[in-house]
């Protein structure tokens, strides 16, 4: 009787992807970690990571910092990818893993727009959908991807609330739905519902559900409640499942729209989508709301993160009047 040849073990990068998905990390994290592990392997002439250790990791990170001149955040991401590879994929527990130093991120004050500047920027976004999204970013304090990933069920019109699902750190939170956006958001959803109805009539695949909920609730993905509030105009291939379906709108479109609006408005600040979140927090503090309330709305786990916005209350060098003005 012929013996059955066991299948070959999965390749390293496939093992990496499997472990990342087991930990329910985002697709972006998966893509970033795979990218850095591949670069690490090619940097050392395709040597297998299990045959390398601290000197090779340090040499690679040193190259990124010195020759590559990458940003500190990029450098930290590359280190995190390699630590995940050794600890979670290769199951290598070596003393040097905990000794690897992470470069410290310099403390920078956030870019904040005045309320007048915010209005000028928002009024100069031509696209109707992008303008609504930008107003939501400023009016709720949501992060870019939190807004992009909103689903119909996440909006509570009667309670004037938006439930932000799986935000940073995979945490849910509740923020306000601005009264001034209720009518425009309802009108937008009426238009989006036509897209959903057309997809259902055409028999197109349903939207993606988080955490494999489609296995538990097989029909939920086709329900209106789970449809994207900001769906893409066309279908695309899901990079993990390979299914061709309608995804949410790509965030780059909104980023470009806001960048153009900042230029047209003549605002001489390096403002971005995240600047609207900074401005949201700053303007709430200026209006007298307490720091804990702002912390909850932003979804910060530590109030010290929110404290950076209190700089606006310290006008001109912590409220001190310059002797030149006396």
Tokens of 185: 């958001």
Residues 6+ apart with CB under 8 A from 31: 239
- Cα–Cα dist 265/259, whole Å: 10
Given the residues 149, 247, 277, 278, the one annotated as active site: 277
Strand arrangement of the beta sheet that strand 173-176 belongs to: 155-156, 161-164, 173-176
Question: Which residue among the candidates 76, 87, 120, 168 is catalytic per the annotation?
Answer: 168
Tokens describing residue 27: 């697709």
Instruction: Report the chain's C-alpha Rg in angstroms.
Output: 24
Q: Is 277 a catalytic residue?
A: yes
- Assess whether 11 carries a catalytic annotation: no
217 is catalytic: no
How many Å apart are CA 213 and CA 34, to the nearest integer? Answer: 25
Instruction: Identify the active-site residue in 143, 247, 248, 278.
Output: 143
SS3 content of the chain, % helix, strand, coil (to 5): 55, 5, 35
79 touches 61 (CB < 8 A): yes
Q: Is 168 an annotated catalytic residue?
A: yes
Check if the beta carbon of residue 299 is closer than 8 Å to that of residue 166: no
Torsion of CA 164, 168, 172, 176, to 10 degrees: -40
Catalytic pick among 33, 86, 138, 309: 309
φ, ψ (nearest 5 deg) of residue 108:
-120, 145
Of 39, 245, 274, 311, which residue is the catalytic one? 274
In DSSP notation, 66-98 reads HTS---HHHHHHHHHHHHHIIIIIS----HHHH
309 is catalytic: yes
- Rounded alpha-carbon distances, angstroms, from residue 192 to 95, 151, 237, 238, 253: 54, 11, 20, 21, 18
Helix, coil or strand: residue 238: coil
- Catalytic option among 135, 248, 283, 300: 300
Distance CA 210, CA 136 (A): 23
143 is a catalytic site residue: yes
Catalytic residues: 143, 168, 274, 277, 300, 309
């Amino acid at each position: 009787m012929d013996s059955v040849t066991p299948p070959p073990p999965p390749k390293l990068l496939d093992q990496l992807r499997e472990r990342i998905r087991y930990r329910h990390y985002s697709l972006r994290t998966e893509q970033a970690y795979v990218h850095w592990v591949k670069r690490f392997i090619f940097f050392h002439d395709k040597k297998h990571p299990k045959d390398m250790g601290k000197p090779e990791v340090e040499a690679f990170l040193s190259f990124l910092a010195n020759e590559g001149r990458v940003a500190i955040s990029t450098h930290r991401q590359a280190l995190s990818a390699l630590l995940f590879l050794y600890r979670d994929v290769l199951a290598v527990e070596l003393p040097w893993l905990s000794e690897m130093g992470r470069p410290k991120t310099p403390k920078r004050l956030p870019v904040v727009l005045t309320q007048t500047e915010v209005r000028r920027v928002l009024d100069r976004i031509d696209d109707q959908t992008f303008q609504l999204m930008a107003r939501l970013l400023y009016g709720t304090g949501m992060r870019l991807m939190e807004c992009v990933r909103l689903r119909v069920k996440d909006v509570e019109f009667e309670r004037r609330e938006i439930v932000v699902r799986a935000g940073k750190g995979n945490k849910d939170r509740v923020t306000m739905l601005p009264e001034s956006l209720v009518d425009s958001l309802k009108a937008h959803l009426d238009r989006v519902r036509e897209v959903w109805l057309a997809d259902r009539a055409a028999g197109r695949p349903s939207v993606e559900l988080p955490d494999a909920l489609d296995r538990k609730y097989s029909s939920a993905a086709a329900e209106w409640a789970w449809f994207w509030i900001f769906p893409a105009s066309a279908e695309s291939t899901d990079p993990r499942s390979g299914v061709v379906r309608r995804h949410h709108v790509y965030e780059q479109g909104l980023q470009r729209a806001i960048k153009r609006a900042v230029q047209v408005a003549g605002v001489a600040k390096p403002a971005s989508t995240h600047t609207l979140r900074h401005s949201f927090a700053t303007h709430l503090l200026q209006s007298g709301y307490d720091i804990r309330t702002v912390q909850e709305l932003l979804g910060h786990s530590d109030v010290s993160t929110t404290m950076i916005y209190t700089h606006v209350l310290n006008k001109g060098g912590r409220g001190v009047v310059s002797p030149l003005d006396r």
